Amino acid sequence: MNRLDQTGAAAAPSPASASGPLRLDVVTIFPDYLRVLDLSLIGRAHADGLLDLRVHDLRDWTHDRHRTVDDTPIGGGAGMVMKPDVWGAALDNVLAAPLPAAPASAECAEPAEAASLPAPRRVLVIPTPSGELFTQRTAENLAGADQLVFACGRYEGIDARVAEHYAASGVEVHELSIGDYVLNGGEAAVLVMIEAIARLRPGVLGNPESIVEESHTGAGLLEYPVYTRPVAWRGLDLAATEPVLLSGDHARIDRHRRDQAVSRTAVRRPDLMARLDPARLDAGDRAALTRNGWVAPAGAAHPVPLVVRPALEADLPALADLAARTFPDACPSFLTSEQIAAHIAVNLSPQRLATWLADPRVVLTVAELPDGLPTPPEVPGTSLPPGALVGYSAVVAESLDAAGALPAGLDPRPPSVGVPTGPDGVGGLAAELSKVYVDARLRASGIAPTLLAEAVCDAATMGVTALWLGTNDANRRAQKAYRRAGFRKVGTRTYEVGGERCRDVVMVLNPQETVA
């Protein structure tokens, strides 16, 4: 693909290295088709001298009585092909049109110096469904030309030697398609391209700021949904569905709109998600990405798909491996690797995980990269294979089974954790958020908050009214993440790892209140 066409490759559109009017020539067998260009902004720009639009009838360059523009395909096949000799005569003429000097060059228009002026940039555009895709990047590029000549083909297209000849003679030639569908001719496509290009020229659009914010520019996200008065219309009440927009808090409104742009793009245009530049995403964007099934790990060239789902039998080996890999990251530095290994062998063994998987009082959730993670060139060896597990969480409810036993591996609930009654005033339930771990390579990519939100949601569904956890006293990063998710510190506990006593902070949250 053409570099121009990569979403996010350019910042705000900055066309027009040239500063004279943009000369547009359209050659067609249906000149009347282009009459609509006299209307609207484009007509105004023409009238204002910002554009110089000329529409030509291709048949003016025929010499036979029937004004023939097409012939049968050499080699056979259906349809007709447009004749290169007629197109050659037309394009030679149009591409030689004198262009007005740019205003800046008017002062130095001495004949001697005129020779040193850069040649005008003339571009031949051939619309064809077989062309490269015309995108906003293409429009930004073409808006910087001095002359655009559009050669509208009909029937099966224009003899391929026409494009070849002009490219070989040094003309900039672009064969462009406006999308993956077939039109009867290039005229409608040219209307599309001219509108997209012309509005990027200085002065054509009333409000240049509206260019900057829109779709397909900026971060490469689709535009967020927009609303106007009345606030309630046909039962759709923005006060209920979009309270943030009515809050007057502009930072929150910006964040909310950006989140909506991310989720809209994730749903409608996964192809654009896969091309986002992580360098243009802030922490809020990353979190929104992750909530919508994508993750942009630090150092990765592009976001990759992420799936958060219940753990399955088939995950057990990889899950045990992940658990063993991530547990040491959360341990205080005074623990020896032997102590940590001893803890993992008992509490995070494949058997323990298998027991949890089979226990309805335990919700085990995993974060998976279905497509894996390609190696970023600057950090070799960090790639992950398709289907890699990169995070997990475990919620263990404090309820008895038929034999009157608590779930395996449930830590004793610290006395500082009270169990409020449910929303209906009965049946409170405690659960331990036993684990939320993320592969160190995907730190700060929004996976932990997503797993946390998922765990709180699952706990709410289970009827849990006190979701509690213990996390190492020294691990401020973890405590901050839990606080962000709504957990509050209620006390401390001692926790043994491989026979060594560690001090934990105890935090708690009522999922019924959080999820309400």
Closest approach of ligand 6GU to the CB of residue 138, in Å: 12
Written as one letter, the residue type at 143 is A
153 assigned ligand-binding residue: yes
- Cα angle 439, 445, 449 (rounded to 5 degrees) comes to 85
Q: How far apart are CA 187 and CA 76, in angstroms?
A: 26
Separation between Cα atoms, residue 14 and residue 4, nearest integer Å: 13
* Separation of first and last alpha carbons in the chain: 48
Residue 26 touching ligand 6GU (CB under 6 A):
no
Could you tell me which residues come within 8 angstroms of residue 57 by beta carbon, excluding any fewer than 6 positions away? 28, 29, 31
CB of 194 to ligand 6GU, least distance (A): 12
Lookup result for tokens 């742009």? 261
Nearer CB in complex with ligand 6GU: 193/219? 193
CB of 37 to ligand 6GU, least distance (A): 16
> Measured between alpha carbons, how far is 413 from 394 in angstroms, rounded to an integer?
16
Is 298 among the residues that bind ligand 6GU (CB under 6 A)? no
The verdict on 119 binding ligand 6GU (CB under 6 A) reads no
Q: What values do phi and psi take at 483, rounded to 5? A: -60, -45
Query: Counting every residue, how long is the chain?
Result: 516
Per CB under 6 A, 334 contacts ligand 6GU: no
Closer residue to ligand 6GU (CB): 138 or 479: 138
Q: Does position 297 bind ligand 6GU by CB under 6 A?
A: no
Q: Which is nearer to ligand 6GU, 193 or 296 (CB)?
A: 193
Smaller CB distance to ligand 6GU: residue 181 or 334?
A: 181
Q: How far is the CB of 87 from ligand 6GU (least distance, A)?
A: 16
CB of 151 or CB of 442, closer to ligand 6GU: 151
Among 7, 28, 62, 128, binds ligand 6GU (CB under 6 A): 128
Which residue lies nearest ligand 6GU, judged by its C-beta? Answer: 127
Q: Which stretch binds ligand 6GU (CB under 6 A): 124-132, 248-256, 301-309, 420-428?
A: 124-132
How crowded is residue 109: how many other Cβ atoms within 10 Å of its Cβ? 10
Q: Is 387 annotated as ligand-binding?
A: no
For ligand 6GU, the closer of residues 196 and 397 by Cβ is 196
Nearest Cα to 303, choosing from 337, 343, 262? 262
Please identify, using beta-carbon distances, which residue of 189 and 348 lies nearer to ligand 6GU.
189
Q: Is 138 in the site for ligand 6GU (CB under 6 A)?
A: no
The DSSP 8-state label assigned to residue 134 in this structure reads P
DSSP state of 221: P
- Report in angstroms how near the CB of residue 461 gets to ligand 6GU at its nearest: 48
Output the CA angle 299-439-448, nearest 5 degrees: 95
**Alpha carbons 59 and 299: distance in angstroms, whole number:** 57
Number of residues lying near ligand 6GU (CB under 6 A): 13
How near is the Cβ of 19 to ligand 6GU at its closest, in Å? 29
State which residue, 70 or 454, has the beta carbon closest to ligand 6GU.
Answer: 70
Identified binder of ligand 6GU from the candidate list 127, 278, 391, 409, rule CB under 6 A: 127
Contact flag: residue 28 with ligand 6GU (CB under 6 A): no
Of 177, 203, 213, nearest in space to 42 by CA: 203
Q: Is 183 annotated as a binding residue?
A: yes
Q: Helices 187-198 and 40-47 meet at what angle, rounded to 10?
A: 60
Q: Kindly state the tokens that stand for 50.
A: 């910002």
- Encoded one letter per residue, x for contact with ligand 6GU by CB under 6 A and - for no contact, window 160-199 reads ----------------xxxx-xxx-xx--x----------
How many CB atoms neighbour CB 8 within 10 A?
A: 19
| Of 178 and 295, CB closest to ligand 6GU | 178
Smallest separation (angstroms) from ligand 6GU to the CB of 437: 49
Minimum gap (Å) between residue 186 Cβ and ligand 6GU: 5
- Residue 60: CB minimum distance to ligand 6GU, A: 22
Under the binding rule (CB under 6 A), the answer on residue 129 touching ligand 6GU is yes
Which residue(s) pair with 509 in the sheet?
Answer: 467
Distances (CA, A) of 3 to 137, 190, 301: 9, 22, 16
Which of 273, 278, 333, 324 has its CA nearest to residue 300?
Answer: 278
- The CB density around residue 69, as the number of other CB atoms within 10 Å, is 22
Q: Is the peptide bond before 230 cis (omega within 30 degrees of 0)?
A: yes
Q: Is 182 annotated as a binding residue?
A: yes
Return the closest-CA partner of residue 436 out of 469, 387, 400, 388: 469
Which of 185, 220 has the CB closer to ligand 6GU?
185
Ligand-binding annotation for 427, yes or no, is no
Annotated binding site for S-adenosyl-L-methionine: 153, 178-183
Q: Which residues bind ligand 6GU (CB under 6 A)?
A: 127-129, 176-179, 181-183, 185-186, 189
Task: Cite the annotated binding site by residue number.
Answer: 153, 178-183
